[in-house]
Each structure stands twice: as C-alpha cells, then as structure tokens.
A and B are shown apart, each in its own frame.
Chain A
Amino acid sequence: MRRTMKAVVMGASWGGLNAFSTILAGLPARFPAAVLLVQHQHASADNRLAWLLSRYSTLPVRAPEDKEEILPGHVYVAPPGYHMLVNEDDTVALSTYRPVHFSRPSIDELFFSAGHAYGAALVGVLLTGANDDGSDGLDYIRRRGGHTLVQSPQSSEAPVMPEAAIIKGAAREVLDLERIGPYLADYLVGL
C-alpha cells in the first residue's frame, strides 16, 4: 500500500556511517519523501559526512543551511555542531542551543520537531548507538501517529540506543539493518 509521507527521520551514533550508507543504498532514485538524518559527531568534523553518504545514495545528499527548504527525494544531514530541526513550513531550523544527551546535533531535537510538524506523515528510524539519545523523540513520533522503526540490537554495532527505544515501547517495528532500506522503499513507494 502506498502512503503519502512527508519525511523519514533517522538517527544514529556509534556505527552510524555503516548503517546510514547501507540504508541509503537501498532507497530508490524516485523516493517520494524527504530524508533527514542525525549522526553524532564532533563539531570539527566539517561536512564530510554528507559527502561520504552521497557516494552511497542515488538521492542528492547535503548538509543544509538554516531555513533551507525541505524537498522530497532529498537527503539532509545535520551539520556538525548544530542541532537540526524541522519548521512547520517545511524548512530546516538549525540551532546552537546546548548539547542534548551530550550531543549536538542531537537525535531527539530532530525527532521531536519533525514529530510535531508532520504527525502521522512521518517515519522515524533509530539505529545503532551507544547512548540513549533518540528514544524519547522516537516515542514522541509514535504518539503523534507516525511510524517508528528500530534497528535490531543484534544487527547493531552498538545496541544501547536501539534497546533504549525498544524498552520504552517506542518501536512499531524492529528490523535487521539490511531490511530497513528495502522496508522504507516498500512502505513509501510500494516497490
């Protein structure tokens, strides 16, 4: 069944580069929703991550500017040193507010704001990681009627983050890493 979704938001910490590249490689070129992702990283990492991930994806990948318009079929990577949020008018809001869960960007900041703006037209995906950022935000997405996926702890390089979300009851589906990309393609595109 095809669904009209505005966005997919994803978050990862330890092991995220491998997880994101695997998932993005599984998304088709005509993906109908925007993809926004947060990877915990040091502020001095520059925008290297967007460049790296663009090599695995048929979709355009970029680290956005503040107030940049969010377009379907584009991938937005939170720039290091900034929280990345979603405004209701489909634009990106960046902030240098204090770190959340010791992280800036923080997954919760993205998930809460996207959950607020998009409600049921959102998919939240929480991946491998070694702290508990993202589980509150993922639960918020669920409570807003959005769909929520968690990477299975056994397929995660670091299981703490997925486990925190599962214990909280935030996960509607728990999937192995290799299945997440195809699942999203199927869920949104009906391939």
Chain B
Amino acid sequence: MQQSMDVIDDDQIQIEDIEIRLLLEAIYQLYGYDFRAYSRASMRRRVMHRLAMSGFPSVTQMTERVLRDRQFFVILLNDLTVNVTEMYRDPEFYRAFREEVIPVLKTFPFIKIWHAGCSTGEEIYSMAILLEEEGLYDRAMLYATDIDKNVLMAAKKGIYPIDAFKQYTENYRRAGGRKSLSEYATARYDSVIMEQRLKRNIVFADHDLATDQVFGEMHVILCRNVLIYFDRPLQERVIRLFDDSLDLGGFLCLGTKESLRFSGNEDAFDVINKSLRIFRKRQIPHNA
C-alpha cells in the first residue's frame, strides 16, 4: 500500500470554493453565461473534472485561460451545461402525456409548446413525433430553447448515433408509439437523421433561464432535468417564470425527480400526474 500523505484540509477546500466562484464570475462578466446560482455540488464536480482533464495546477490558472481563449471556454461551457438525454427518456412520462394531456390539447385551436433546456434535441423530436401521431402537429408550434448555442445547433441538425437510436426504439415502444421509430429518421453510415418534416414547426432559440425573461403564452412547458442544476433560489425564479409564461390551464412537465415542493409556488398548480411530475396551472389565478 502506498498511502500518500497529501491531505486536503478545509482551508484548501475553502480556497477552491473561492476560485470556483471567481471562475463563474469571470465567465458571467466576459461571456454573459450566468452559472453563479447553479447547484454547487454539480458545478464543482464539473469544474474539477475539466481541471483534471486539462492539467492546470489550479482553478485560478484555468480561469486565466478561460479569459484569454474563447475556444477553451467553449469546451468548459459544454462541460457545465450538457444535460445528457435520450429520445423518450422516461417512456412512462410520454405515455402519460399522450393519455392525460393530449386529450385536452385536442380541444385547442392552436398549441404552443416550450421545451426549456432542450439540450441536443432528443426530447423535442420525441414530442414532435407524438404530436404528429395524434394529428396535432400542424396546429402546434414548438419552441426549443437552450443556453448553449452549440447544443442548439446539434438539436437543429437532429443527427444521432445509430447505436443510441436502437435504444430509443425501445423507449418509443414503451412510450406508446404507434409506428416504428425508424419511420421518422433516415440512417446514414453510423448515424440517423431526423426527418425534415418534423422540424418545420420547431423554432430553435437561445434562452438563459437564469437571466432571460418570460417566453409568452404557452400551453405546455417541458423542462425536464434542468432545474436539478439550479440552486433553490434560482429554481424559485424559474418556476415563477414558467408560471408567468403559461396560459391559464397550461401544463408544466418537470423531470421525475424534480419538485414544485421547494419552489414556493406550489399553489399555482394542480397535480395531474404526481409521480411523472405533470402539473397544470390553475384556471383561476391563486392570488385573485
């Protein structure tokens, strides 16, 4: 056994914490991305992970590089934001959406859906396919937003590795898909490209939930596994933003481990499906 005596004491932890806060401040001031209210533990792990990969002796030295080298910043940005998702992640959610939300949407003449934090787009195409199968696509406008312009570009392209796509097929089936997922994509070498027609009513736009404003009169907001990256005050801000962006009777869908419990705005919503986190904004304003 070669136990090293390299103790990491609380002083060193405190210094690292300060360095990480300064890094996030530098990113905000120079590039405008605001990670200062993100969940500490996850941010820290990602920063330390990039630090280990890049070989800098300290976070401060990495910050220096971030300030001078935009390309390096883009690599770090990818570490800090990428939410690795899949098509029909949590198939039971899509099944519940089909059974419990779609019937209501069918009574609307026009449907606006905001997918906040769409990452590389797997879930927006899942929703587009579901709408098409339910005969609602032509009436729908889907707004796919993310903080990171690079992942938005990937989302817009809609190209996914064929190995992953095989797994999505199983998700799609469990989600209650009516056809075969392969009917919505074209294989090319070891990738698949989502069909062009699925994209015609999707608008891709960059939007930062930490700093940007209301995204008008939505009927459905999907924001799954994004809130987990935020600290509680920012979660509260974002839930308020969603409340303000939703029409009365509009639906809010969160990740299955995310909750309105800590948001201070629980009263504004009815629970439609508890375990799959589907909520509905009350028809009568709660503060009326």
Kindly identify, within residues 1 to 42 of chain B, every residue whose CB is under 8 Å from any CB belonging to chain A.
1-4, 6-10, 13, 39-42
- Asked if residues A96 and B1 are in contact (CB atoms below 8 Å), the reply is no
Residues of chain B from 234 to 276 with CB closer than 8 A to chain A in the complex? 235, 255, 257-259, 261-262
Chain A residues in 8 Å Cβ range of B209: none
Q: Is the CB of B259 within 8 A of A119?
A: no
Inside 8 A of B9's CB, which chain A residues have their CB? 145
Contact B13 A66 (CB under 8 A): no
A97 touches B83 (CB 8 A): yes
- The interface residues of chain A lying within 8 Å CB-to-CB of B3 are 142, 169
Whether B2 and A169, one on each chain, are in contact in the complex, defined by CB atoms closer than 8 angstroms, is yes
Tell me if B207 counts as interface (CB < 8 A to partner A): no
Q: Count of A-B contacts with CB under 8 A?
A: 88
Beta-carbon contacts under 8 Å, B40-95 to A: 40-42, 44-46, 48, 82-85, 89
| B228 proximal to A (CB < 8 A) | yes
User: Counting CB contacts under 8 A, is B227 at the interface?
Assistant: yes
CA distance in complex: A73, B168 (Å): 39
Docked-complex contact A169 and B45, CB < 8 angstroms: no
Given A66-B259, A144-B8, A96:B41 Cβ within 8 A: no
- Which of A63, A83, A94, A142 has the largest count of B CB atoms less than 10 A from its CB? A94
CA distance A113 to B47 in the complex (A): 12
Complex: how many Å from CA A88 to CA B257?
Answer: 20
B10 to A119, Cβ gap below 8 A? yes
Given A66-B228, A96-B225, A97-B46, residue A87 in contact with residue B39 (CB < 8 A): yes
Say yes or no: A85 contacts B45, CB within 8 Å: yes
Nearest 7 CB-CB pairs, A to B?
A85-B41, A169-B3, A93-B41, A66-B228, A113-B41, A98-B84, A96-B225
What is the interface of chain A, defined by CB distance below 8 A to chain B? 63-67, 79, 81-83, 85-88, 93-99, 104, 109, 112-113, 116-117, 119, 140, 142-145, 166, 169, 171
Chain B residues in contact with chain A, CB under 8 A? Answer: 1-4, 6-10, 13, 39-42, 44-46, 48, 82-85, 89, 225, 227-229, 232, 235, 255, 257-259, 261-262
